[in-house]
Amino acid sequence: MTTESAAPESQAPESQAPESRSEASAPKTHAFEADVAKLLHLMVHSVYSDKDVFLRELISNAADACEKLRYEAIADPALLAVDPQPRITLTLDAAQNRLSVEDNGIGMSADELAEALGTIARSGTRAFMDRVAAASGEGAQLIGQFGVGFYSAFMVAGRVEVVSRRAGSAAAARWSSDGQGTYEIDAVDLDAAPARGTRVVLHLLPDAARYAERGVVERIVRTQSGHVPVPIVLRETPEAEPEEIADGAALWTRPKAEIDADAYTDFYHGLSGQFDTPALTLHYRAEGRQEYSVLAFVPGMKPFDLLDTGRDGRMKLYVRRVFITDDADLLPAYLRFVRGLVDSADLPLNVSREMIQESPMLGAIRKGVTGRVLGELEKLAGADAPAYEAVWENFGPVLKEGLYEDRERRESLLGLARFRTTASGGGWRGLKDYVADLKENQTAIYYALGSDLERIAASPQIEGFRARGVEVLLLPDHVDSFWVMSGLDYQGKPFKSVTQGAADLGLIPLPEGDAAAPGAAASAEVTDFIEFLKTELGASVADVRASDRLTESPVCLVAPDRGMDRQLEKILAGAGRLPQREKPVLEINPTHDLVVRLAGLGAEEAALRADAAYLLLDEARILDAEPLEDPRAFSARLARLLTRALGPGGA
């Protein structure tokens, strides 16, 4: 084992004379430097909610020690003579409430133990504590980023012992501390030390006894450290035979031809915590200005946290197979359903959160991975439409966030988008197919917004479009109200709401032989009735006009020509982001029997005409899933109308 703050171990002497037994029995006590003492206080008092991080850090240090030995052995092969295969051994001792992490790496001398574990040296301890003071809830991520990983052991241990023997040395030393302000260093007999390398023994606290249980330790290793470049073995008791739990060969480093679907699926299960079969697997290595490997999965079912308001990604970042963080913003929020990892060959192992967020290298990786994920989804859509539609069924509402947020990739995302439409028969339609089926003189892609697919499909505003065979996108997702208003188009065709402004359907011909004539000119009586409605309802509506979009319903509400779509207006008002809603436009079907008969009422029926005017407005509100402004007045008007219809005595 080494720590990030250790001095370059190649500077240590190649050999030391064995200390005498008397010297070995006289440990020297030292005080921690002030900043280390403060750091240990933080650890002991459990500032961090995720204590599992300590094992990841100790394994990472052990793997580093093995890698350093490998490099030094290039110049001095004799260093590997005793035990040439690198290895990390975890030993459980539930009876004694202990856990040990041992490596056969480079090891440390007594001086190196003091420098690495007793002082801040070249570690980032001070910077770490400055960040802890300013941060909230991110301690587990910070531990590994500031060179203080070893000290995380004190979150779970009342005493920590480190016994180490440097490769090529004839002496071994022990460092021990209870984390209360001092540490001891003494020499130990060689038979009590590893033949080479470092053994860290944790005397676990009572509330951390679970870390001596096989299931807990194995889960942590497989989740966080199963892909370090050194095999990891586990002894369930000090006397038990070691069992390999990680082979030191990361799955993503192996050629795709050597990996079968079951291996990918098993890896996905461990990575994601889900037990479905992934719908799509991406495994590739990028080379060029940045070298990195990617292994990512599109789940086959919705993750439980898909609509998490934090909208964080779920991609892990590794550097040379050492886990760094799962909060590296490697994919945009609208791809947060993707599970996987990126392993960089170029980033430093001690990359900090600031570097992650600001690094141009990470930005280039993010751009490359995002493009590749979208590209693979496009390939799936072309090669296996049903499989892609299942992906869209699960993640379409999330992908559509990108239409609003990611201008650079809108074209790709629009190509991936699938919709229920008035012509889809309950299936999915892409915009490419929609544009291919545009009607004569149709210049826009029409859509209808709402919160329920069936209600949108039955909207009166769609009637005129359906009569002319004009396909309308049915958009029930919350995010739809935002992306359609962002000024985008597809192949030069703008998106236009069927409930916003004039429909402009007059130039689109009716199918041959269709006797319906939506948009027929209003009679003089209906025109006068519309003028009456404008006067009577002027306080409640922006305008009243004859409609060219209604064929079956007598009335509907639409937004003014330059107004906000009514569904978006409703969402913003409900969220308190719109102080007052705009008055709608009431459209009248000039050929509907009810409208024609109301228009024919004489002056002596003025009271009935007034009641009818407000009842028509309330009917339009009901059809638009709007609440009535005055339910009591609506009830009174309806009662008067029914009484008149029934006549004297209810006959």
DSSP string, 50-100: -TTHHHHHHHHHHHHHHHHHHHHHHH-GGGGSS--S--EEEEEETTTTEEE
Q: Is 108 annotated among the ligand-binding residues? A: yes
Q: What percent of the chain shows pLDDT beyond 90?
A: 57
Residue 574: is its pLDDT beyond 90?
no
Q: Which residues contact 151 (CB under 8 A, 6 or more apart)?
A: 36, 39, 40, 43
Q: Is 103 annotated among the ligand-binding residues? A: yes
Instruction: Say if residue 327 is in the same domain as residue 204.
Output: no
Instruction: Say if residue 203 is in the same domain as residue 260.
Output: no
Q: Is 97 annotated among the ligand-binding residues? A: no
Tell me: the pLDDT tens digits for 147-159?
457 888 888 999 9
Instruction: Say if residue 165 is in the same domain as residue 310.
Output: no
Angle at 221 between CA 154 and CA 128, to 5 degrees: 40
Instruction: Say if residue 75 is in the same domain as residue 217.
Output: yes
Place of tokens 């051994």: 89
Instruction: Say if residue 33 is in the same domain as residue 171.
Output: yes
User: For residue 101, what are the CA distances in angstroms to 40, 180, 191?
Assistant: 20, 22, 18
Note whether 178 and 192 are within 8 A (CB).
no
Q: Which of 69, 90, 67, 65 lies closest to 81 in space, CA to CA?
A: 69
Q: Is 294 annotated among the ligand-binding residues? A: no
In a domain, 497, yes or no: no
Among 230, 246, 262, residue at a domain's last position: 246
In a domain, 56, yes or no: yes
Instruction: Say if residue 104 is in the same domain as residue 209.
Output: yes
**Angle between the N-to-C axes of helices 385-399 and 360-383, in degrees from 0 to 180, rounded to the nearest 10:** 140
Count of beta carbons in the 10 Å neighbourhood of residue 53: 22
Instruction: Say if residue 242 is in the same domain as residue 263.
Output: no
Q: Is 146 annotated among the ligand-binding residues? A: yes
Q: Is 567 annotated among the ligand-binding residues? A: no
Instruction: Say if residue 212 is in the same domain as residue 63.
Output: yes
Among 357, 386, 415, residue at a domain's last position: 386
CATH, residue 281: 3.30.230.80
In a domain, 514, yes or no: no
SS3 category, 489? strand
Tell me: the pLDDT tens digits for 109-159?
999 998 888 664 334 444 444 544 554 444 433 333 334 578 888 889 999
> For residue 303, what pLDDT band results from cuts at 50, 70 and 90?
confident
Note whether 189 and 24 are within 8 A (CB).
yes
Question: Does the predicted model carry a pTM greater than 0.85?
Answer: no
Residue 24: is its pLDDT beyond 80?
no
Instruction: Say if residue 240 is in the same domain as residue 289.
Output: no
- Total number of domains in the chain: 3
In a domain, 409, yes or no: no
In a domain, 455, yes or no: no
First-residue to last-residue Cα distance in the chain: 98
Q: Is 419 annotated among the ligand-binding residues? A: no
Place of tokens 């007594």: 110
Q: What percent of the chain shows pLDDT beyond 70?
A: 84
Tell me the residue length of the chain. 651
Q: For the chain, how long is the longest CA-to-CA vector?
A: 123
Q: Is 230 annotated among the ligand-binding residues? A: no
Count of beta carbons in the 10 Å neighbourhood of residue 490: 18
CATH, residue 546: 1.20.120.790
Strand-by-strand arrangement of the 555-558 sheet: 543-546, 585-588, 555-558
In a domain, 329, yes or no: yes
Q: Which of 51, 80, 65 lies closest to 152 in space, CA to CA?
A: 51
Q: Is 57 annotated among the ligand-binding residues? A: yes
In a domain, 398, yes or no: no
What's the pLDDT score for residue 391?
98
Q: Which of 36, 137, 144, 174 lies closest to 44 in space, CA to CA?
A: 36
Mean pLDDT of 27-46: 66
Distance, CA of 591 to CA of 386 (rounded, Å) = 44
Q: For residue 601, give its domain range.
A: 524-650
Q: Is 198 annotated among the ligand-binding residues? A: yes
Q: Which residues contact 631 (CB under 8 A, 6 or more apart)?
A: none
Distance, CA of 321 to CA of 345 (rounded, Å) = 9
Q: Which residues contact 431 (CB under 8 A, 6 or more apart)?
A: 414, 415, 417, 419, 445, 490, 491
Instruction: Say if residue 240 is in the same domain as residue 113.
Output: yes
Mean pLDDT of 293-309: 85
Reported as half-sphere exposure (CB side, CA atoms, 13 A), residue 470 has a value of 30
SS3 category, 375? helix
Among 188, 212, 246, residue at a domain's last position: 246
CATH, residue 102: 3.30.565.10
Residue 336: is its pLDDT beyond 50?
yes
Q: Is 644 annotated among the ligand-binding residues? A: no
In a domain, 360, yes or no: yes
Q: Is 148 annotated among the ligand-binding residues? A: yes
Instruction: Say if residue 166 is in the same domain as residue 269.
Output: no
Which structure tokens are listed for 209? Answer: 């006894």
Q: Is 11 annotated among the ligand-binding residues? A: no
* One-letter identity of residue 323: F
Instruction: Say if residue 232 is in the same domain as residue 268.
Output: no
Q: Is 196 annotated among the ligand-binding residues? A: no
* One-letter identity of residue 489: D
What's the pLDDT score for residue 145?
34
Tell me: the pLDDT tens digits for 88-104?
999 999 999 999 999 99
Strand partners, 361: none
Strand-by-strand arrangement of the 28-31 sheet: 28-31, 182-188, 172-177, 157-165, 197-204, 98-103, 88-93, 232-235, 243-246
